[in-house]
């Protein structure tokens, strides 16, 4: 089956920003997804380079329109690879092939009588590059550009769009998936209840020269939309190239709600007039706001994708955008929410599951995939959930519900983390008679990781490659063939690599690199030790201790120390605490436990790591045993 996905071609009057990146990440993700579902997929993006706005921007920059469009188009092209976005074609409306095909289409449509010449007067907004109706104005101004539109009266060419109105209504009604999500389909149908006006498709060259000349009247150039929309077919070689036969009408367009009308009304009626089948589906998403405010150059809150990638990496940005926005609705971006997802979903949930599992295979199974024995109820439950995830993931991805697809994946990650705690492989490892059980538990974890990486391949390609490399998988992802349980070969070498995702502090820096506070050795620490030994303190002394419940969300051995573990705790804000428990606990077995900490100790540096507090533990004949609470309680609860 063929699949052809496109993004809007972006105006080159602005540099790439988060909104452009979102549509393009969605297109890349869905194209990768279709490919791993064995579909023949193609992905096109590009730039829209004609029109008044471009000339205005070029003049502002003091360069010729051609120099200007080359520069900004180059920025768009260069913005995508760092986000792991790999289009098959990057089209520009200034490409010669595109210009020729647009002209030959204009001639055909003119010859068949669907383009005519007429007088037009109206209120034209330069910013929108279109005539506005009286109804659209707010206090006489264009609502988007806060300026009054200019009254213009001129002769122009018109496309007989009204002729195709009934056909379009029928087509939308007969093909419920033509415009999705449904809210936008309803919006278009309700707009089509009123009679459609014909579409003005030209500008006189006295007013605009930066456009494609009309072949039948060189005193005019095409108005942006008749030029721009045709990119979707010129990019695959309409009318006679093999690619056109292969990918049309399998086309699915991704746009935001701002350009719904041109795509849902102008484009299908144009195709119908040209005599080409309509595209298959139109996918309409909402707008990204920044901290609940509209993104705008004037406000100065435009988010540049390149800066996010430098700080967080491509996979985190891709995951965040797809997880945070419900496709079709608006969403709000903030660095805080990106950071929270990085630390919680990626570093804690996925990253920990991955590193704990591999470390245990290294420790208990000699760095090899063990052989699975009979599955217990708990193994079977995780295996069933992981296999069911594949189907759920496919269904949600096919419906463009990326956030739900990722929720399904994270539900299994959570389940697998709990499975580790429930099955405590470190306990099983203490008794050799449990060898088969231990092998089965570790196999179940590795196989779950394999299925997780299979789903993540489309969303976070770099992470999936790293996971597969550690699991010793060297075949490309194939959701249809590899979505079954039990495909990992026993005896395969496992490599424990770097952590998948670093934990980051508020400034988006890796935590390890954080400037440490000056160490405070000695006195105060001794004083708190005296709480244990003296036994005779006043109540006032006791209340000076701030004891809190904290959850261990990450743990790792401190290099060159047999005794120390570096713990990341949530109490509820995150803090690092160094604990001398490495001889009694492996890092993987304490994640998820709630312990009691002294929260108000002055920071102290131990083996180069600053500890912000102390974990309480009991020292018995059995060794050191961590403190805990008898029932789960909110992190940060005061112990008194
Ligand atoms: N050139 C036309 C499209 C022609 S397509 C044949 C155009 N260009 S644009 O540069 O203004 O891009 C609009 C598109 O950019 C939106 O439809 C959407 O894909 C993306 N976004 C721009 N701002 C956005 C947000 N704030 N949020 C989400 N996406 C947005 O219109």
pTM of the model: 0.84
Is residue 321 assigned to a domain?
no
C-alpha–C-alpha distance, residues 259 and 253, integer Å: 11
Of 285, 300, 324, the residue at which a domain comes to its end is 285
Mean pLDDT of 199-214: 93
Is residue 430 assigned to a domain?
yes
Tell me the H-state helices in 112-223. 165-174, 182-191
Domain CATH for 605? 2.40.50.140
| Ligand 1 centroid, distance to 514 Cα (angstroms) | 38
Q: Quick: pLDDT tens for 481-501.
A: 999 999 999 999 999 988 999
Query: Which of 13-17, 143-147, 337-341, 531-535 is predicted with the least confidence, judged by mean pLDDT?
Result: 531-535
Q: Tell whether 469 and 548 lie within a shared domain.
A: no
Is residue 376 assigned to a domain?
yes
Q: Which long-range contacts (CB under 8 A, 24 or more apart) does 555-559 make?
A: 555/587, 555/588, 555/590, 555/591, 556/587, 557/582, 557/587, 558/582, 558/606, 558/607, 558/608, 558/609, 559/607
pLDDT at 527: 34
Does the pLDDT value for residue 523 go beyond 70? Answer: no
Is residue 322 assigned to a domain?
no
Q: Quick: pLDDT tens for 99-108.
A: 999 999 999 9
Is residue 314 assigned to a domain?
no
pLDDT at 515: 36
Pocket of ligand 1 (CB under 6 A): 8-11, 19-20, 22-23, 48, 228-229, 231, 255-256, 258-259, 287-288, 295
Does residue 382 or residue 605 have the better pLDDT?
382
Name residue 220's beta-bridge partners: 204
Q: Buried b / exposed e across 54-63, counting CB within 10 Å, b at 16+?
A: bbebbeeeee
Residue 602: active-site member: no
Residue 66: active-site member: no
Does the pLDDT value for residue 623 go beyond 70? Answer: yes
Q: Tell whether 25 and 166 lie within a shared domain.
A: yes
Q: Tell whether 182 and 281 lie within a shared domain.
A: yes
| Ligand 1 centroid, distance to 129 Cα (angstroms) | 14
Residue 20: active-site member: yes
Nearest to 494 by CA among 465, 470, 464: 470
Q: Tell whether 246 and 357 lie within a shared domain.
A: no
Q: Tell whether 220 and 342 lie within a shared domain.
A: no
Which H or E run contains 272? helix 267-274
Mean pLDDT of 9-22: 96
Q: Quick: pLDDT tens for 220-260.
A: 999 889 999 999 999 999 999 999 999 999 999 999 999 99
| pLDDT > 90 in the chain, percent | 77
Distance of CA 197 to the CA centre of its chain: 39
pLDDT at 511: 62
Of 482, 510, 526, the residue at which a domain comes to its end is 482
| Ligand 1 centroid, distance to 28 Cα (angstroms) | 16
Is residue 324 assigned to a domain?
no
Mean pLDDT of 449-467: 98
Residue 403: active-site member: no
Three-state DSSP at 431 gives: coil
C-alpha–C-alpha distance, residues 103 and 91, integer Å: 17
Tell me which of 31, 37, 125, 200 is the catalytic residue.
Answer: 125
Nearest to 603 by CA among 528, 516, 539: 516
Domain CATH for 346? 1.10.730.10
Residue 124: pLDDT band (50, 70, 90) is confident
Q: Tell whether 279 and 339 lie within a shared domain.
A: no
Residue 31: active-site member: no
Residue ranges making up the domain that contains 180: 2-285
Does the pLDDT value for residue 328 go beyond 90? Answer: yes
CB 44 within 8 Å of CB 8: no
pLDDT at 131: 80
Name residue 155's beta-bridge partners: 119
609-611 and 614-615 as β-strands: parallel, antiparallel, unpaired?
unpaired
Q: Tell whether 447 and 543 lie within a shared domain.
A: no
Does the pLDDT value for residue 21 go beyond 50? Answer: yes
* Minimum-distance ligand 1 atom for the alpha carbon of 231: 6
Q: Tell whether 348 and 478 lie within a shared domain.
A: yes
Query: What's the burial of 276, exposed, middle or buried (CB within 10 Å: 0-12/13-18/19+)?
Result: middle
Nearest to 448 by CA among 549, 378, 501, 516: 378
Does the pLDDT value for residue 532 go beyond 50? Answer: no
Query: What's the burial of 193, exposed, middle or buried (CB within 10 Å: 0-12/13-18/19+)?
Result: exposed
End-to-end alpha-carbon separation of the chain, Å?
65
> Which residue is closest in CA terms to ligand 1's atom 30?
19
C-alpha–C-alpha distance, residues 301 and 332, integer Å: 12
| pLDDT > 70 in the chain, percent | 95
| Ligand 1 centroid, distance to 22 Cα (angstroms) | 10
Which H or E run contains 140? none
pLDDT at 544: 83
Does the pLDDT value for residue 112 go beyond 80? Answer: yes
Is residue 519 assigned to a domain?
no
CB 76 within 8 Å of CB 69: no
Nearest to 72 by CA among 58, 60, 86, 89: 58
Structure tokens that stand for 255 in this block: 């746009």
Residue among 5, 9, 19, 50 to mutate when testing ligand 1 (max atoms within 8 A of CB)? 19
C-alpha–C-alpha distance, residues 558 and 566, integer Å: 6
Residue 455: active-site member: no
C-alpha–C-alpha distance, residues 447 and 383, integer Å: 8
CB 65 within 8 Å of CB 210: yes
Residue among 7, 20, 144, 282 to mutate when testing ligand 1 (max atoms within 8 A of CB)? 20
Tell me which of 173, 297, 510, 544 is the catalytic residue.
Answer: 297
Residue 125: active-site member: yes
> Which residue is closest in CA terms to ligand 1's atom 18?
256
pLDDT at 513: 38
Mean pLDDT of the chain: 92
Does the pLDDT value for residue 151 go beyond 90? Answer: yes
Three-state DSSP at 191 gives: helix
| Ligand 1 centroid, distance to 146 Cα (angstroms) | 19
Residue 520: pLDDT band (50, 70, 90) is very low
Place of tokens 């008749």: 226
Residue 404: active-site member: no
Structure tokens that stand for 634 in this block: 């909110």
Mean pLDDT of 262-274: 98
Tell me the H-state helices in 129-241. 165-174, 182-191, 224-228, 231-234
> Which residue is closest in CA terms to ligand 1's atom 5?
8
| Ligand 1 centroid, distance to 331 Cα (angstroms) | 15
C-alpha–C-alpha distance, residues 324 and 319, integer Å: 8
Residue 508: pLDDT band (50, 70, 90) is low
Q: Tell whether 231 and 117 lie within a shared domain.
A: yes
Three-state DSSP at 442 gives: helix
* Minimum-distance ligand 1 atom for the alpha carbon of 289: 26
Is residue 310 assigned to a domain?
no
Domain CATH for 48? 3.40.50.620
Of 244, 266, 285, the residue at which a domain comes to its end is 285
Q: Tell whether 615 and 470 lie within a shared domain.
A: no
> Which residue is closest in CA terms to ligand 1's atom 16?
256
pLDDT at 384: 98
Q: Tell whether 413 and 553 lie within a shared domain.
A: no
Total of domains in the chain? 3
Q: Tell whether 32 and 135 lie within a shared domain.
A: yes
| Ligand 1 centroid, distance to 9 Cα (angstroms) | 8
CA 620-624-630 angle, to 5 degrees, is 90
């Amino acid at each position: 089956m063929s699949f052809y996905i496109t993004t809007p071609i972006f105006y080159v009057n602005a540099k790439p920003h988060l909104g452009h990146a979102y549509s393009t990440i969605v297109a890349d993700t869905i194209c990768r997804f279709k490919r791993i579902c064995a579909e023949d997929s193609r992905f096109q993006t590009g730039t829209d380079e004609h029109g008044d706005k471009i000339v205005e921007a070029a003049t502002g920059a003091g360069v010729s329109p051609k120099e200007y469009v080359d520069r900004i188009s180059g920025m768009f092209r260069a913005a995508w690879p760092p986000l792991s976005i790999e289009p098959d074609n990057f089209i520009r409306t200034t490409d010669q092939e595109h210009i020729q095909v647009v002209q030959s289409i204009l001639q055909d449509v003119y010859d068949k009588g669907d383009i005519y010449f007429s007088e037009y007067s109206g209120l034209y907004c330069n910013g929108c590059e279109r005539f506005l109706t009286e109804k659209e104005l707010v206090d006489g101004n264009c609502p988007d550009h806060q300026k009054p539109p200019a009254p213009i009266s001129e002769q122009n060419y018109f496309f007989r769009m009204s002729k195709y109105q009934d056909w379009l209504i029928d087509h939308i009604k007969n093909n419920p998936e033509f415009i999705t999500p449904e809210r936008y389909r309803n919006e278009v149908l309700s707009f089509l209840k009123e009679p459609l006006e014909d579409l003005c498709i030209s500008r006189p060259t006295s007013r605009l020269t930066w456009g494609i000349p009309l072949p039948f009247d060189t005193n005019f150039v095409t108005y942006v939309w008749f030029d721009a929309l045709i990119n979707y077919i010129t990019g695959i070689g309409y009318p006679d190239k093999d690619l056109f036969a292969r990918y049309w009408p399998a086309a699915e367009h991704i746009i935001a709600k701002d350009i719904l009308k041109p795509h849902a009304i102008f484009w299908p009626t144009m195709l119908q007039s040209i005599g080409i089948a309509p595209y298959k589906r139109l996918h309409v998403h909402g707008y990204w706001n920044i901290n609940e405010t509209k993104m705008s150059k004037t406000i100065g809150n435009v988010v540049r994708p390149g800066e996010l990638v430098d700080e967080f990496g491509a996979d985190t940005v891709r995951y965040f955008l797809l997880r945070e926005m419900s496709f079709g609705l608006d969403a709000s971006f903030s660095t805080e929410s990106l950071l929270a997802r990085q630390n919680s979903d990626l570093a804690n949930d996925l990253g920990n599951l991955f590193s704990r599992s591999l470390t245990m295979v290294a420790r208990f199974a000699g760095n090899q995939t063990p052989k699975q024995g009979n599955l217990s109820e708990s193994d079977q439950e995780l295996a069933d959930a992981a296999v069911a995830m594949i189907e759920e993931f496919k269904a949600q991805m096919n419906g463009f519900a990326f956030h739900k697809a990722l929720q399904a994946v994270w539900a299994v990650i959570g389940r697998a983390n709990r499975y580790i705690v429930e099955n405590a492989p470190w306990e099983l490892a203490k008794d050799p008679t449990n060898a088969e059980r231990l092998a089965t538990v570790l196999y179940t974890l590795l196989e779950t990781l394999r299925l997780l990486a299979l789903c993540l391949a489309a969303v976070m390609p770099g992470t999936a490659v790293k996971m597969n490399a550690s699991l010793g998988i060297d075949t490309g992802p194939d959701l249809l063939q590899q979505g079954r349980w039990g495909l990992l070969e026993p005896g395969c070498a496992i490599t424990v690599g770097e952590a998948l995702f670093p934990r980051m502090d508020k400034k988006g820096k890796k935590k390890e690199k954080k400037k440490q506070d000056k160490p405070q050795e000695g006195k105060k620490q001794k004083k708190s030790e005296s709480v244990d030994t003296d036994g005779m303190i006043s109540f006032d002394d006791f209340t000076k201790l701030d004891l809190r419940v904290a959850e261990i969300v990450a743990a790792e051995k401190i290099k060159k120390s047999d005794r120390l573990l570096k713990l990341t705790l949530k109490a509820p804000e995150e803090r690092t605490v160094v604990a001398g428990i490495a001889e009694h606990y492996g890092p993987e077995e304490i994640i998820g436990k709630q312990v009691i900490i002294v929260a108000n100790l002055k920071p102290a540096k131990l083996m180069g790591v600053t500890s912000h507090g102390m974990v309480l533990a009991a020292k018995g004949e059995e060794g050191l045993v961590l403190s805990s609470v008898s029932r789960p309680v909110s992190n940060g609860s005061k112990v008194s």
